[in-house]
Amino acid sequence: ISKIVLLDVVKELTCAICLNIYKDPVVIPCQHSFCYECIKEYWIQKPYNINSVMCDFCVDGTTAATRSCLKCETSFCSKVFEFYCKEDGCCVCASCSVHGTHRNHTLLMLGALQQIVYSLMFSLLYLQTQTERYRSRILLTYSEIQKQTKEDEQFVLQQINLQKQEVISKIEQHCKQVDAVMQTLKEKEKDIQDNLANEPLSLIQVTLARWISETQNWIYQLEKEQNNHSFNINITFFDPNFFCLFPDCQSLTFDLNTVHTNLTVSQDRKTVTWSESKQSYSPHPERFTYDSQVLCSECFNTGISTWDIKISGEYFKVGVAYQKLERKKLLTSILGQNSASWCICSLKGEFKAWHNNICTYFTPTKDLKHIRVCLDYEGGTLSFYQVTNTLLHLHTFKTTFSEPVYPAFKCGDDTTMTLC
């Protein structure tokens, strides 16, 4: 029985053209199998009296066949498959689309399907290209992080060693001073013992009081120095160059339709300056009329964005706002006093972060003359940094942005602000 089964299997796997086991088998529309090269060579041979054989799949029966199956003698024309059935995932002929099992199925013309395939291939190629770009950027970022981490590690260890040596030196000096004080006290104690019988009591009391006072001063100085024998490492891990891992700083311009009439705007729309005299701007519904504020023309609603502002003066606000921020009303138009804006503020030496009329104090290391704003829209963070030779974090708002945000500024008395 096993031999019979084996013979049947061999028969099923035998090509009807070359009579050998299939090599690269293919299935033709009538569901019979052949070697790919065998059926290809057979079909490209020019048949005798080709018009005498008609396509078995064409309904009208008048279309000449261009190929035939050697097993079932079914003939096909060159357009036998014109449609693609979405339900069954296969190509079908015109007859099946009208009278066969694929009737009432969703059919696509093969030409249209080819366009869809081309479109999908293009999309796939684009996604592969974008993926490779992001992969390269991630690898570069990771490399930069590793490099920066290594440099920070070396810098920290160097600072620790330097301060360690400094503290050890101070402690050694302190020990020498303590030894000197102890030696002096022993000598004075010996003097008192030697002169106790010869000196008057009043002289001994005066001398002892002076020595006690001197000793107390020495002890006070030693205790004061002892409190300084501790590590005080102030290390900045944020290198401004490392901040370039974020996208480049945006090129912004002030919006002339929003600028307050007490602000003058430079020709390149990069600088605003407080002016006591009113400017003759044309009326506009977007213009701030109460506070000396201005928005930028550009807005952000995706990704990570950074921009810099340089400031000369002590009365200013830097932040972002929704387009819906009030322009005309007294309180609801002020940056930070509502739910539509976030900002940091400098006023008479006080520094605050404002949102929805709630403030948080912060302290810069020195005069706040250069600020970097970092917006992560999807991440819901708005961060402010003081830019000097390093970056000092000032404040971060954490929220969920629901609309595009515009860089927003207030330029107070005797203040000039310039977009970098």
Give the model confidence (pLDDT) of 207-254 as tens digits.
555 666 666 666 666 666 555 544 444 444 444 334 434 446 788 999
Which pLDDT does position 244 carry in this prediction? Answer: 38
For residue 299, give both structure tokens: 């807005």
Task: Assess if residue 107 is contained within a domain.
Answer: no
Same domain, 209 and 255: no
Is there a contact between 21 and 11 (Cβ–Cβ < 8 Å)? Answer: no
> What's the mean pLDDT in 287-307?
93
Any domain includes 73: yes
Looking at the fold, whether 393 and 298 belong to one and the same domain comes out as yes
**Looking at the structure, do residues 198 and 283 belong to the same domain, yes or no?**
no
Domain holding 39: CATH number?
A: 3.30.40.10
Q: Final residue of a domain: which of 226, 258, 274?
A: 226
Is the pLDDT score of 390 beyond 70? yes
DSSP SS3 for 159: helix
Is 80 in contact with 100 (CB distance < 8 Å)? no
Asked if residue 34 belongs to a domain, the reply is yes
Please report the pLDDT score of residue 375 as a whole number: 92
User: What's 317's domain CATH number?
Assistant: 2.60.120.920
Amino acid at 211: W
Average pLDDT over residues 391-408: 92
The pLDDT value recorded for residue 3 is 60
Give percent of the chain above pLDDT 90.
Answer: 31
- Which parts of 196-271 fold into alpha helices (H)? 201-226
Range with the poorest average pLDDT among 40-49, 155-164, 292-301: 40-49
C-alpha distances out from residue 102 to 7, 32, 43, 75, 187, Å = 36, 20, 28, 21, 118
pLDDT at 247: 45
Question: What pLDDT score was predicted for residue 76?
Answer: 67
pLDDT at 372: 92
Read off the pLDDT of each residue in 274-302 and give the average, rounded to a whole number. 93
Q: Which of 404, 218, 220, 225 is nearest to 320 (CA)?
A: 404
> Which of 130-144, 191-205, 393-407: highest mean pLDDT?
393-407
3-state helix, strand, coil in the chain (%, to 5): 35, 25, 40
307 shares a domain with 215: no
Same domain, 135 and 74: no
Q: What is the pTM of this model?
A: 0.45
Do 168 and 313 sit in the same domain of this protein? Answer: no
C-alpha distance from residue 252 to each of 195, 308, 367, 400 (Å): 86, 9, 24, 23
Residue range 149-167: mean pLDDT, rounded:
83
pLDDT digits (tens, 9 = 90+) for 42-57: 777 655 454 567 766 6
Q: Are residues 312 and 374 in the same domain?
A: yes
Separation CA 137–CA 296 (nearest Å)? 29
Q: Note whether residue 255 is domain-resident.
A: yes
What domain range is 247 assigned to?
241-419
Quick check: is 93 in a domain? no
- Tell me, yes or no, whether 67 lies in a domain: yes
More confident site: 354 or 171: 354
Confidence at residue 240, expressed as pLDDT on a 0 to 100 scale: 38
Q: Can you tell me the distance from the alpha carbon of 392 to that of 237, in angstroms, rounded to the nearest whole number?
A: 10
What are the residues facing 371 on neighbouring strands? 309, 386
In this structure, are 396 and 287 located in the same domain? yes
Are 175 and 245 found together in one domain? no
Residue 273 lies in a domain: yes
Domain count across the chain = 3
| Mean pLDDT calculated for residue range 366-387 | 90
Percent of the chain with pLDDT over 70: 71
pLDDT level of residue 11 (50, 70, 90 thresholds): confident
pLDDT at 277 over 70: yes
Last residue of a domain, one of 170, 196, 226: 226
Mark which of 80, 97, 132 sits at the end of a domain.
80
pLDDT computed for residue 364 by the predictor: 86
Kindly report, residue by residue over 303-331, the tens digit of the pLDDT. 888 999 999 998 999 999 999 999 988 77
Decide if 322 is inside a domain: yes
Pair (399, 265) in one structural domain: yes
Asked whether the predicted pLDDT for residue 271 surpasses 90, the reply is yes
Q: What is the pLDDT of residue 402?
A: 94
Output the pLDDT for position 292. Answer: 94
- Residue 74 · residue 30 · CB < 8 Å: yes
Q: Are 282 and 391 in the same domain?
A: yes
What are the two backbone dihedrals, phi and then psi, of residue 263, each rounded to the nearest 5 degrees?
A: -115, 135
Q: State the chain's mean pLDDT as an integer.
A: 79
What six digits make up the tokens of 311? 């400031």
Domain shared by 66 and 186, yes or no: no
